[in-house]
Structure formats: structure tokens, C-alpha cells
Chains A and B, each alone.
Chain A
Amino acid sequence: MPRLSADCRHMVSFTLNGAPVSGEAEPRMLLSDFLRYVVGATGTHVGCEHGLCGACTVEIDGQPGRACLTLAVQVRGAQIRTVEGLAPAPDRLSVLQECFREHHGLQCGFCTPGILVTLDALLRDNPAASEPEIREALAGHLCRCTGYVSIMRAALAAQQRLGKKTDA
């Protein structure tokens, strides 16, 4: 990684949900702040800024990661996927999102973007994930509203439906 000067802004470009974005950032700017305030992609939420709540989770080059623990300048050239990029079309929900809706997997919805990103990646990379594996992935996220019951239900339903889809 090149040396960056702390008191200058630097150009940051990457691919966000399939489209190129760019903007200027001081080296210390967090990816979460860059997404929200520079790019205007406010779907990614910030609940703690110290890596524990999971609300800010985004996919960085195929891996879920904490946007609040990542600097914007670290993801130059990367492929970033956020909650805004999960639905197949603006007026259609993904299977996972649809299952969250059916099973009341959200209340205030503040934790939801991070949880969707994590589960989306999990169900893609490990379609046969066991219940404890799903639960463990979910354990990287704090939800204060649901008690997790409905989230687990939504995740299991999505897994089943996605499985059927590939079987068919």
C-alpha cells in the first residue's frame, strides 16, 4: 500500500454494487463514513464503530467485513457490496430479503443491513450451512429488537428456498 499523507485528501475509487464510485477521503476516514457521507449510500448503518455490533457489515471482495474498522483508502479498487446491492431489481426483493419480510425478521431494521450481508454471503458460500453454523455467523451481529428468533427462522427459510431453487 502506498504511503499516504495524513493531512491530504486522496482519491478513492472502487466498485459499489457493480457500479464505479469515487470520492475524496483523508486517510483516516472510515469506510462506513465514506459510504454514507461521501457516496451517499446510507443503507450501511453504524452502531458502535468498534467492531462489535455488526451493523456496518459490507462485503469487501467477496468477504463480509466491518466497514467501521476499515479505512476508505484501504478498499481502493475493491469490489464492495452493501445491502443496497442485494435485491435483484429495485422493485424486487432477494429470496433472503423476502424471507425476512415473511418471518418478521426485523423490527427497527437498524441491524438488518449488516445481518443481510453476512447471511447472503454465508448462504452463497456454504449453501448447506447447518443451523449452528448459521447461528454462529449471526452471533457477529447484535439485534436489540427481535431476540433473534425470527431472524433465524428467516435465514432457515431462505436457505430452504434457495436450495429448492438450485435443485429445480
Chain B
Amino acid sequence: MDVTADEPRPWLGRSLPRVEDAALLIGRGRYIDDLGVPPGTLHAAILRSPHGHAEIVSIDPTRARALPGVTAVLVGSDVQAHSASLLVGVKAPIECWPIATDRVRYVGEPVAVVAARDRYVAEDALDLIEVAYRPLPAVIDPRAALAPDAPVLHPGLEGNLASDRVFRYGDPERAFADAAHRVAIEVDYPRSACTPIETYGVVAEYDPGLDAYDVLANFQGPFSIHAVIARALKVPGNRLRLRTPPDSGGSFGVKQGVFPYIVLIALAARATGRPVKWIEDRLEHLAASTCATNRFTRLEAAVAADGRITALTWDQIEDCGAHLRAPEPATLYRMHGNMTGAYDIRNVSIRNRVVLTNKMPTGLNRGFGGPQVYFPLERLMQRIAHELGLDPLDVIRRNLVPRGAFPYRTASGALLDSGDYAAAMESALLQGGVAELIARRDAARRDGRLYGIGYAAVVEPSVSNMGYITTVLTAAERRKAGPKNGAQSTATIALDPVGSVTVHVASVPQGQGHRTVLAQVVADVLGLKPAEVRVVTDVDTAKDGWSIASGNYSSRFAPAVTGAAHLAAMRLRERLAHIAAAQLNVPAVDVVFDGGRVQARRNRDNALSFARVAAASHWAPGTLPSEADTAIRETVFWTPPELTAPNDADEINSSLCHGFIFDICAVEIDRVTAEVRIDRYVSMHDCGRMLHPGMVAGQVNGGFAHALGAALLEEHAYGPDGSLLTGTLADYLIPTAMEVPEPLILHHETPSPLTPLGAKGVGEGNCMSTPVCIANAVADALGVADVSLPLLPARLAQQVHGPEKAPRGKTPVRPAAKEAASERQLFGEGEASVDAPATTIWAMLLDPNALMAVVPGAHAIEKVSDTCFTAEITLGIGPVKGRYRATMELSDLDPPRALTLTGSADGALGFGRGTGQVTLREEAPGRTVIGYRYQAAIGGKVASIGGRLLDGAARVIIGQFFASLARQAGGGGRPAGLWAWLRRLLGFA
């Protein structure tokens, strides 16, 4: 429905400078934390679980509430008193609260909310909340979560399986029976997230008179979530006013996940009777915002001798983390119409299971569902070529949806709107210089270097069908729930009394330049300059046009939102043409809008200024011709008819548009360090008509960098006990300018026949194509069948060098761990020489006061028994300083020669316990050698804060302990000896 193919378009398609930039470049952006708040606004901080899985035995906020400056502390029961569980998208007996109620299920899960005078005081108060946990066994892996004896997260559910659906299209059994070959692949796709540099932010107010909430949040949509929030807050939608700030510091899907915090902060505002503001910090973000799902997939293909695929069998186990948060399990179903990728495969069977594990709940993330599907699919294409002895390019060629088949209906129901995949691919091979790369690979291999080439062909869906998620329900369940489909986009254009033009859309951009592009779209229609069109993109649900589909996700801006704006401008122009026609004395069809003037087509001098015509409805409505309605404001809602609900055969057109991408990647892997160097990356895109080539390039480069991070560096990693191992940006590694090469970007335009301007989405495709394309190149370089992300040198080293040999030289003996190796284990040993007799030191070790005096950071000692005492300890490790409650116990006493010291510490920042064997040996009269050997385990936030810092920090702290023991006992050991000993402790020796 390219409605204006023949219209002049002086502005669209040009890479104009962005209207957004002037303010952003001089520090005058208006992000959520830059906007003023009402006087009396309180600031919130959130206490979070240090455990992956634990029962909450008790919470005592008394001391926190008593801290001056603290207005309120909310715990789970306070939240439950005034809200309802967040809606869960599957039929299962599970609840989803934005705060822990009876147990915690992932590290970082909110446990209490403090509202205080400022953030500093609020964080002080967090330290004073006493929570007793009873740790439970955790489950991290989606397959392990399905085991009959796996720890169960939600007792309402029998196990951890929240949904299990089977789909069948065509006749896959027969195709497999007839196939010459079967090729299969198994993939564990890891978790990662696009981590915007601006974190979440919420400012909430509550009006008790109206029982209404007013919330400002850097939420990104979809606004279907508005209904989820209102329901959780137990108010009708019209009592939840949700506004977004004018600027947002990136989202990539992630800021959809702010909504549970909207509920929490809104309830804090209600509890305190004051506005409450919360800005998430980065540690909170990495632990408890949201991320993409990890997924186990087994994919098998029935393949003919020539490489033609006749059927696919998918078995997907989706890991949504600790809670099934709206709109999950959408990640699993967003691609449902596209499970055959860019290929013409008519027989498909799919089993989709959704499981819950002790990890952060998942949500929207750039590429949403695409990376998890394309990784197995495109790895499989390479495996088919390898196993059948074919050229991987030929396998791709033979299976691509053929030219001329568009619009093409896939086996599972998607309508591929337009494209010429073969032509785009051949052009990429030519322009990308594949022949040269192959020659380079041959030469490198002759030199014994590791060089490989990978490919990926991908269909990039955009403009999600709001009904696709209901594919998770059975046809009968869907009938009961009522149909869900479509995707309403909306735009409003208003004319003011001086005839200037303002456009409003509910598209909530986070850096995608929506204002610039919309000004171009509307300027073209009304014959104005883009600078004359003002565009407003912040949303106020109380006043603006919006629908559940509003927001910035599924790459819907270019295909859908610009279309709605275009249609609104066309309608307004038609009315203005009628107004002008009367004054110009020509028929309305002969009125032309050009250069800020409204003219008669055949006599351009017969003209009025645009402003005069545009202002007429304000000043002189009585003089308007009767056939013209008032032209002041025009709102258009547009939904594509192709987005129908899933049918009884479970076929679903999950997205409106389908772009095409063909990527080529050449890598060299360092034989020594196993580092992956990208020699060349080529990315061919068919994203339909390009509205602003500069921004298209920006989207492709940005998506490529995200994908590169996901492929090479990033993972939300968890220990087996559920501890988060990537809690800072020093552990969760985001690529910098040093790691990101510049890809060669190519285009092949086939406009979409289904969108008003012929555009398709473009921002997500590389997140789907690039991880697997790099992996294919690495697999080719190493000649291996199995590669898993992220392709860290440490992981690849095993494939380059074989398994690691035991290191030579003296290393601490690792005692067999008594507990199942769950938390992070630390080991160490050392010696200190002290100028004091063994009996003196022995007496000190047995005197709690003397002993605690040498424990770094200890205070508030209490003696429980002769050999047991407790204390509070304040310790800083890296950026994390915290208070811990410690218990120490002495046992195996062998005076004055040996004893065992067992200690544990618990605090908001984590927990640890350890055992140390201490021996005393008099090497000369009055001089004793203290020997120690310890093993310790650490979990919780401390473990996720720079695991790499921990070993060193523990050595330093334990070293400090013995150094001050030596000082107290005998005025210190010999300085040189001590220095050497400290150096040894610090690992320098």
C-alpha cells in the first residue's frame, strides 16, 4: 500500500542532520533524572536478595525506620496489601510480584524499598534492615530445571515447567522418513542484554482523593503493559497516568522491564503520601533489570542429497528466569511465523517449553527471540554443508525462498511481504569480496594460521502482531480469551493559530531520531521544510492518542509509525485543500502544497501562504466551505489488516514486515591467545525503502556492536548456587571502540507493499544474524562442530590448545570441598614469623577481645561461649563496602600448637564462610611461626562484584589479620620477613 509512490518527496530519504542533536550536544537533554521533581519528593533505594534461592525467615526494618530522614520502609506484605500480582501470560498457577514475598528467587530480587530524604540516606537505611534467609538449593540450567528432583521455584507449579506446546505444520514425519540425511544440532544460547547507558528511572505520585497514580518513567512500551500496571495497582486505566520523559538514554527493549519498579515506586508514593523518585544504579541494573532469555535448542533437519531441506524439527526449552513477567514468553513466540528463516521449508514440527530458573526474569531485548532461533538454524546450515560435503553457500542458495514467490506464506503462517533474497545474497558475495576472502583463507591455512569464513541468511521481522503471544495458548484457550491481533500505530498532527505544525506520536524513541524522520515525512506532504514541523514524542497516557501497541519495539517506527503520520498528514492536507480551493477558486484536486505555499496547480501565482490556510480553522471557522471539516487536529490510527490472530491450525503472521540480511564474516584466531580478530564483516540489508540512510547506517552499526558483544564478550553468568558472577561493568564486558570493527554495509531495496511508505524495520537484524555468522566463521577456522557463545579466548583456548595441563610449581593444595562446589571457592595458605613465644599467641587466639582486635574492620563483639563469639565487621572489597554479621568458632584445640577457626559472615552484600587451620611452631625461643591454611566460600553480591577482585582481596584481608596478630603479639615480625610475607600474600612472589 505504497500510497504516494508518485508524489514528490524532497525530504524523505535524505540524511538530514537530526533535530534532536543540538540540545543533546550541549548537555541540555531532558532525560528522566534531569527533570525537576515536586518539592518534598522522597528518594527510594531497594534492598535486594543476595541469594539465588532462599526462604525469607524474617525481615526486621525497625532500625531502618528509625534512621533520621527515612519516611517509610516497604516489605513484601506492604506491597501485597495494596496491589495484585502482575499478570502472567500463560495458564499456570503462578504469581509474579515485583518484590519478594515469602522467598527470594534470584540474586537482586527486591526485598524492601526505603523512601528517604535523599538517596544517600535511603542507602544507609538498607544496611539497617535485618533479613534472615534460609538458603534453598538453586537451579540455573533450563534442562536441569526440568529434572524430576530439581528444586522447585514456585510451589503452585508441580515442577518448573510453565508451558509446554507442540505444533505441527505440513507433514514433517513423512519428510523425515523420506529424507536421505538427517542433520541435528544442539545449542545452549546464553543470556545477554543490550544494557543502555542510562538506567531505569521512575517518579511516582499518588492522589488519595481520586485513588489515582501519576507516574513518570523512562518506559519504552509496549503500552499493553499499561494495563498490566493498572491492574497490579488495582485502579482502572484512567487512574494510572503514565508519562515518559522527552529524552531516554537508550533502551533496546530493556526499558520495557522498568514496569515492575513502576508498581513498587507507585506503592511507595502511596505509602508515604509524597512523590517518590527512584533511579536505578548500574549494579541493580546488571542484577535485576531484565535480559534476553537463554535457551536450549535441539534442531534437526531432514535433508535431500543435494542439501535441500524438506523438514525441520525444533525442540526449544526457553529459560525465562525466576518469574514469568509480561510479555513473556513472548521471546519464544515472536519468531513463530519465521521458524524456517529465509528458507522455503514446508514441513515443520515445534515443541516449545518454558521453564523457570533462579535467574533474573527476562524481557524485551534487541533482536527479541531472533538470536535464539537463528543461532541453531544458521549453525545447522553450516553443519549440513559440512556433513554432506557441500559448499555452505550452495546449501543456502538451494533453500532460499525463491525470487518471484513473494508475498510468501511460511509453513507456520508468516507472510514474507517482499524481497529478492538470491539477488541480495549474490550481490553481497560480489561486493563483499568473498572470492578474495577465500583466497586469503587458503593462504592463511597454508601458513598454519586459523582463518575461517562464516555466513548467515536471516529474515528480520518488524511490526509485531499484538496477537502472536496468544500462540502460546491452545486454540480452545484463545477462543475463551477472545481474539487478539493487529498493531495500532497512531499519529496526531495539529495546526496552531499561526498555522505552524506540530506532530505527536506515541513512539517513545530512545535515540532513534524519530523527531527528525517524522518532520521529513510531514514536511513532504504539506510542502514545508522539516525545520518548520515540530515533533513531540514524549507520551502522556492521560492526554495523548495511544494504543496497546504504542511504544518503541519490534522495529515498528519506520514501517508503522511513519505510516500513521503520513496518513494523518494526507488527511489534513485534503481538508486544507478544500479550504484553499474556495479561496483560490479552483477544485480541491488542483490544489498543490509546495514551498510553504498553497497554490493552484495550473497557475502557481494563484497562491496563499500555508500558514494562512492552516490558521483559518482557528480564526474564521464560519467562513470554511461546508464540505470541509475543521482542520485543526487530525489523529490517525492505523493497523495493517494482514496482522490477523492465530488460526485454529496455530498459523500466525507474527510480524507485518520481513527484511532480509545476508552476512559474511572472516575471522582469524590467534594461535597463542585464542583471541578472535574479525578480518572483515559484510552485512547486506534489504529493509525496504530507506527513510534516512544515515540513521539506517547508525542502526546497523549499533546493532552490529551489540551482536559482536553478545558473540564475543557478554554473558549474564551465574554460579551453580544462583550467585551472579557479572555484577559490574568490569565483569559484564561491553565492547569498546577497540573491539568493534567497522562492518561493510550494503543495501538491496525492495519496498514493502504493506506499509504506507514502503519501509521495513532495520534495527534488530544484526542482533539476529551477527552472533551466528561470527560463530560460523570461528567454527570454520577451528574445524569444529561445536561452538558456544560468548566466544571468549578462555573458552576457545581449549579448542585451540586442547585441555589445560596441570600447572607446574608449588600451588596451594586444594582440599576436597566438603560442600558441593556451589559458591565461589577461595583457597590459600601462608606463614608469618612473630617475635613472641607460642603460648602468648595461643592466649591471644583464645581471647575474643584480643582476637577481634586484629580482625580487620571488626566492632561490636559479643562473646557467646568460651570458644564462640559474634561481631560486626565492616569490609570493603573493590567498589563494594558493606557491613556483615560474623560468627567465629574455635575447635580442634591442641594447645599451644594448633586449632581450627571456623567463621561465617552475612550481610546485605553477600555472605561467606570459611575454615582455617592455624599451627604455631617455635622456630627459636621467643619466635613463633604461625602457619595457616584456609578455604572459604563467598556468595551473594560480593561474589558478583568483580569475582576477579575476590581472590586478591581475600588474600589481603587474611594477610591483614595475621599481620596485625603478629603486631599485637610481639610488636611485629622482622620487617624484611613481614614484607616478604606480605608480598607472598599479595601474590607477587
Q: A55 contacts which chain B residues (CB < 8 A)?
A: 197
Cβ of B22 and Cβ of A142 under 8 Å apart? no
B24 touches A148 (CB 8 A): no
- Cβ-defined contact, B705 with A147, below 8 A: yes
Q: Is A139 an interface residue (CB 8 A)?
A: yes
Interchain CA distance A62-B701 in the complex, whole Å = 33
Q: Does A113 contact B (CB under 8 A)?
A: yes
Please tell me if the beta carbons of B702 and A142 are within 8 angstroms of each other in the complex: no
A41 touches B738 (CB 8 A): no
**Is A148 a contact of B705 with CB atoms below 8 Å?**
yes
Report B269 CB to chain A, min CB distance, Å.
Answer: 20
List CB contacts (< 8 Å) of B6-52 with chain A. 15, 17-18, 20-22, 24-29, 31, 33-34
Tell whether A11 is near chain B: CB-to-CB under 8 Å: no
Pairwise interchain contact A101-B22, C-beta atoms closer than 8 A? yes
Q: Return the chain A residue nearest B945 by Cβ.
A: A50
By the criterion CB–CB under 8 Å, are B24 and A106 in contact? yes
Q: Is the CB of B706 within 8 A of A144?
A: yes
A28 x B120 contact (CB < 8 A): yes
**Please, how many angstroms separate the alpha-carbon atoms of A58 and B734 in the complex?**
22
- Bound: A49/B281 CA distance, A: 8
B199, CB-defined interface residue at 8 Å: yes
Q: Is A14 an interface residue (CB 8 A)?
A: no
Alpha-carbon distance A93/B27, docked complex (angstroms): 11
B511 near A: Cβ within 8 Å? yes
Q: Are B24 and A135 interface neighbours, CB within 8 A? A: no
Residues of A within 8 A of B310 (CB): none
Our count of residue pairs bridging A and B at CB distance below 8 angstroms stands at: 169
Residues from 29 to 59 in A contacting B, C-beta threshold 8 Å: 29, 36, 41-53, 55
Cross-chain contact A47 with B282 (CB below 8 angstroms): yes
Stretch in contact with the other chain, from A70-78, A79-87, A121-129, A157-165: A79-87
Question: A145 touching B26 by the CB < 8 A rule?
Answer: no
Interface residues of B in 693-750 (CB under 8 A from A): 694-695, 697-698, 701-706, 728-730, 734, 736-738, 740, 742
Residues of B within 8 A of A136 (CB): 738
Min CB distance B381 to A, Å, is 26
- The distance in angstroms between the C-alpha atoms of A116 and B31, with both chains bound, is 18
Please indicate the chain A residues that have their CB under 8 angstroms from the CB of B15 in the complex.
Answer: 104
SS of A interface (majority)? loop
- Would A109 and B247 be within 8 Å (CB), given that A43-B26, A93-B22, A104-B695 are in contact? yes
CB pair B728 A108 closer than 8 Å: no
Distance in angstroms between the alpha carbons of A51 and B728 in the assembled complex:
10
Q: For the complex, give the distance between the alpha carbons of A50 and B881 in Å.
A: 13
Per-residue CB contact flags for chain B residues 178-198 toward chain A (1 = under 8 Å, else 0) read 000000000000000011111
Q: Are B21 and A101 within 8 A (Cβ)?
A: yes
Distance of A82 Cα from B28 Cα, bound (Å): 12
Q: Which residues of B contact A113 (CB under 8 A)?
A: 27
Contact of B21 among A28, A47, A100 (CB under 8 A): A100
B252's closest neighbor in chain A, by CB?
A144
B833 interfacial by beta-carbon distance below 8 Å: no
Q: Which residues of B sit under 8 angstroms from A52, Cβ to Cβ?
A: 728-730
Tell me, yes or no, whether B753 is within 8 Å of chain A by CB.
no
Given A47-B199, A104-B694, A146:B27 Cβ within 8 A:
no
Interface assignment of B512: CB less than 8 Å from any CB of chain A:
yes
Q: Does B208 contact A (CB under 8 A)?
A: no
For A150, the closest partner residue in chain B by CB is B698
Let me know if B26 and A87 touch, CB within 8 A. yes
Q: Is the CB of A50 within 8 A of B27?
A: no
Give the residues in chain B near A141, CB-CB below 8 Å: 736-737
A45 to chain B, nearest CB (A): 7
A159 to B461 Cα, complex, angstroms = 40
Residue of B nearest to A51 (CB): B879
Q: Is A24 an interface residue (CB 8 A)?
A: no
A111 touches B740 (CB 8 A): no
Shortest Cβ distance from B866 into chain A, in angstroms? 37
A45 touches which one: B198, B702, B706 (CB < 8 A)?
A: B198
A153 to B120, CA, bound (A): 40
User: Is B734 touching A144 in the complex (CB atoms < 8 A)?
Assistant: yes
Q: Which of B247-291 contact A (CB under 8 A)?
A: 247-250, 252, 281-283
- A102 with B17: CB separation less than 8 A: yes
From A47, A83, A86, A104, B198 is in contact (CB under 8 Å) with A47
A50 to B44, CA, bound (A): 20
Interchain CA distance A55-B282 in the complex, whole Å: 12
In the complex, which residues of chain A have a beta carbon less than 8 angstroms from the beta carbon of B702? Answer: 107, 144-147
- B22, B27, B196, B705: the one contacting A44 at CB < 8 Å is B27
Chain B contacts for A36, CB-based, 8 A: 33-34
Q: How far is the CA of A139 from the CA of B197 in the complex (A)?
A: 15
Output the least CB separation between B870 and chain A (Å): 26
Most chain A Cβ neighbours within 10 Å, of B198, B247, B252: B198
Identity of the chain B residue whose Cβ is nearest the Cβ of A36 in the assembled complex: B33
- B402 in contact (CB, < 8 A): no
**A135 touching B737, Cβ below 8 Å:** yes
Residues of B within 8 A of A138 (CB): 736-737
B949 to nearest A CB, angstroms? 12
Cross-chain contact A108 with B196 (CB below 8 angstroms): yes
In the assembled complex, the Cα of A29 lies from the Cα of B120 at a distance in Å of: 8
B635 within 8 A of A: no
Which residues does chain A contribute within 8 Å of B33, judged by CB atoms?
36, 42, 46
Query: Which listed residue (B24, B695, B704, B734) contacts A109, Cβ 8 A?
Result: B24
Q: Name 16 A/B residue pairs within 8 A (Cβ), A-sorted.
A: A43-B29, A47-B197, A50-B283, A83-B27, A87-B25, A97-B26, A100-B25, A109-B21, A109-B24, A109-B249, A110-B31, A140-B736, A142-B729, A144-B702, A146-B702, A151-B737
Sample of 16 further A-B pairs with CB below 8 A, known A48-B728, A52-B728? A41-B27, A50-B282, A52-B729, A93-B25, A107-B702, A109-B24, A111-B197, A142-B197, A144-B705, A146-B698, A147-B701, A147-B703, A147-B704, A147-B740, A148-B740, A149-B697
